[in-house]
Structures are given as structure tokens and as C-alpha cells.
Amino acid sequence: MWYASTHKNKRYKRVSDQEGVVGGTSGKNNSTFKYVLMSAAAVGLFGFGYAAGNGSVQLNSVDSVASKLSEAVDDDDLATSGLQEIYDELRENYDGEISDEELLDGLKKGTVAAVGDSYTEFLNEEASAEFNAGLDGTFEGIGAELSQEDGFVMVVAPIKGTPADAAGVRPGDIIVEIDGESSTELTVFEAVQKIRGEKDTEVVLTMIRDRERVVIPIVRGVIDIPSVEHRIEDGVGIIEIGRFGSDTVKLVEDAAAEIVAADVTDVIVDVRNNPGGLLNAAVGVSGVWLDRGAVVLEEKRDGETVKSYKATGNTVFGPDVQTVVLINEGSASASEIVAGALKDNGRATLIGETSFGKGSVQQLIDLQSGGALKVTIARWFTPDGKNIDQEGIAPDQEVVLTDEDYEAERDPQLDAAKNSF
């Protein structure tokens, strides 16, 4: 839903992250803001990044860049801090063509990268489109969600039923080469751009897994990530949530209603390898179990609570319904919100493996000049006041799903959940 704001006549939209999810439009006269949950700089540097992104800096000449840069950050020394010299030396010595547009993109990226936060980055128009495509849930590629840890591109989770999943990609795999070229200097979205491609074409990923080098060729396909699937099996209602999209709350409510109508009171919610999605969807899904007014999560900035999200009263499962949430290291962001909210409110037991650990909030800004800025603006906390960033949520009952289990199509985590009732 849209939130009205008086801030420069801009509109805000709350989303979680899928290290990528939710489309938005960008007009000439206004920017669109979105809050993303995925994955503080000097005021001067951030100020320039914002000004450049809004088109107030044009790279017609290095003199105009330097002067605009100085104006944007209110720092007289910055214009003579080496930018002019670098530009002059490039023009004089570089053996090749120099694109002013690419230089400006690089300047934006470098400005944002200087804050040292892997979740804060400038996305050019192509990368921004990739981000929005991921939120929509349909695209051509391999179907693996990526993040960045310690400078390396890492697999958060292969999405169930996709080429990446079928090829054997695993959560935690570190991608070091894409089609034989090093990926160790790439951002997440640069890696995504190289990995995605037309269906029926092949990409070869070289990865580090458990200190071993693994080479996996993957044939790309059309990725249509199901938001929700449900069934009743062995007298247990099973709701699988693949992503948190705009349709997820309604689909979970419908699934819950069918389960209740069938007089089933044991429910499993499977968010394994679910990398996230819309924040409002996570709050709405939590509300299927929680009474109106129950806290789902809190956002804090500099230790102060800036917003508290509460269940809004769409409860379908009453207190007589026993619930287990299945999590693993590929359960991130919005998935962790739901798991944390149900656990802390005493409505669910968690089974599986410790979740990914994505406890920060990003604001995604569609820039007037094209592209987007994604910036960390807060941390989120579970109802009991825990920030899970870098730590994840530990299950109440740890059950490991090994590679051998996967190859043999065994699911000891699901079995443990069924046996817990």
C-alpha cells in the first residue's frame, strides 16, 4: 500500500527484500521511494550520491562535475581533491574511448560503495530493472537469490524447482567465476546481470563450497516463482511460501481457510530457501496467526524505535492450531520476520537450521535520472527485541538436511515437523 508523505512530494512504498522485489515507476517530476529488507557515510559523500542520482550533476566536463560535486557536499576542498587530475590523466593517457555516461555511473557507484555497506548501492537502469523483475517473480535466468558477504557474491538460496535448484546449487555457495571470468570484484547486481540470460542458454558457475571448488553448468529457463502452494498431507496442512509478493497474503489466507474448513489443526509453514519479498506481505502473513495489535517487528535507527508493525486483524488460525515453521540458511529477510514474529508471540515452533541473518532495512529510491539508490536506513527487531543481522534465527529443534538427503530426495526436516504434533 502507498504511504502519503509531505517530504518533497515523494511517495513511499514499504517492501521487504528479495535482495530484490516490487516494481515501481519513476517519473520526470518525482521519485518513488520503497523500503526494502534484504541486504552511515560522511554526509558530504552521501549528499553527492543523492544529488547525482537526481540528475542535478551532469558530466559535460570535469569542471562542471567538480563544481557541482563541491556544491552538493558543501566542501570547497573536494573539487581539488584529485578528481580533476584523474580526469585529465584519463583523457590524456587512456588508450580507448571514454564515455562520460559510464564515468558518471562509476562516480555514483564509487560514492555509494564508499559507505562500506554491501546492501547500500547505486543501481543503473539495467540493474534497477533486474531488481524489479525479481520482485515480480517472473524472469529468465537460473533462479538463485544472491547476496554479498565480505566482498564475495554468495548464494542465499536456490529457488525450489528452478534450474539452479535442479543443477545442485546450494545456499552458502560462493561464486568466484561466471563463464570462466572472475566474479570476485563484482557487485551483486553486476553478477546477476551476467548470470541472467535467455532461456535454453547455458551459464557456468565456479563456486567454493566447504573449501572445495565446484563447477556447475546451468541451462537457463523461464523462472516463475510461485508465491504460495498448499496441500493437506498425512492430516497436516502444509503451506509453502516461495516469495513474499503482492498476492502472498491473500493466497495464505485462502490456504488457511481451506485447512480450517477441513478440520485440520496441525500446520507446517515452509519458508526454506525463501529469500524474502514485500515487507507488508510478511506483516500480513504473520497476521493470519496473530491477534490484532500483536507486534510483528520493530524498526530502529540509532537504537531508537522509528516504527512498530502490528498485526491488523486478518486472523484465520486460532490458538487451537499448532504450527511449525521450517527454516534454513536460505530463509532470509521477510521469511525471518514471519518466523521471528510467530516464535516470539508463542504461535509457532521453528524446525530446521539457523536462518540467513538479514536484519537491516533498505530504502529503495527510483531516481529521476534513471536507475535507483538502495540505502540501509534502519535495523529491524523481532517482537522480543532481537536483531538477527549476521546471526539469523536459531530453530527450536535443529534438523540438518544433508547433500545425501537431497540427492536421495529425503526431507528429514519435514518429517521432524510432522512428527512434532
Residues of the chain with CATH 3.90.226.10: 226-360+381-419
Q: Which letter, b or e, does each residue of 143-156 get, where b requires 16 or more Cβ atoms within 10 Å of its Cβ?
A: bbbbbbeeebbbbb
Number of residues assigned to the chain:
421
Residues of the chain with CATH 2.30.42.10: 138-223
Q: Are strands 32-37 and 11-14 parallel, antiparallel or unpaired?
A: parallel
pLDDT in tens, 311-359: 998 899 999 999 999 999 989 989 999 999 999 999 999 999 999 998 9
Catalytic site residue from 358, 360, 366, 374? 358
- Angle at CA of residue 58, ends 52 and 64, nearest 5°: 105
Q: Which CATH number fits domain 226-360+381-419: 3.40.190.10, 3.40.50.720, 3.90.226.10, 3.30.70.60?
A: 3.90.226.10
All residue ranges of the chain with pLDDT < 70 are 1-81, 130, 132-138
pLDDT in tens, 127-167: 777 676 655 566 788 988 888 888 889 998 888 789 999 99
pLDDT at position 58 is: 25
pLDDT at position 69 is: 43
Q: Are strands 2-3 and 236-241 parallel, antiparallel or unpaired?
A: unpaired
One-letter amino acid identity for 218? I
CATH 3.40.50.1820 fits 138-223, yes or no: no
Catalytic site residue from 17, 266, 270, 344? 344
SS3 call for 147: strand
Tell me the CA distances in angstroms from 242 to 24, 127, 248, 399, one per residue in order.
Answer: 21, 23, 9, 20
Whether residue 344 lies in the annotated active site: yes
- Measured distance CA(406)–CA(397) in Å, rounded: 19
Which three cell numbers, joined as nine digits, stand for 114?
A: 564508499
pLDDT in tens, 310-324: 999 889 999 999 999
Q: By C-alpha distance, which of 399, 419, 277, 285 is closest to 350?
A: 399
pLDDT at position 4 is: 21
Give the DSSP H/E element, type plus range, for residue 289: none
Catalytic site residue from 333, 335, 355, 360? 333
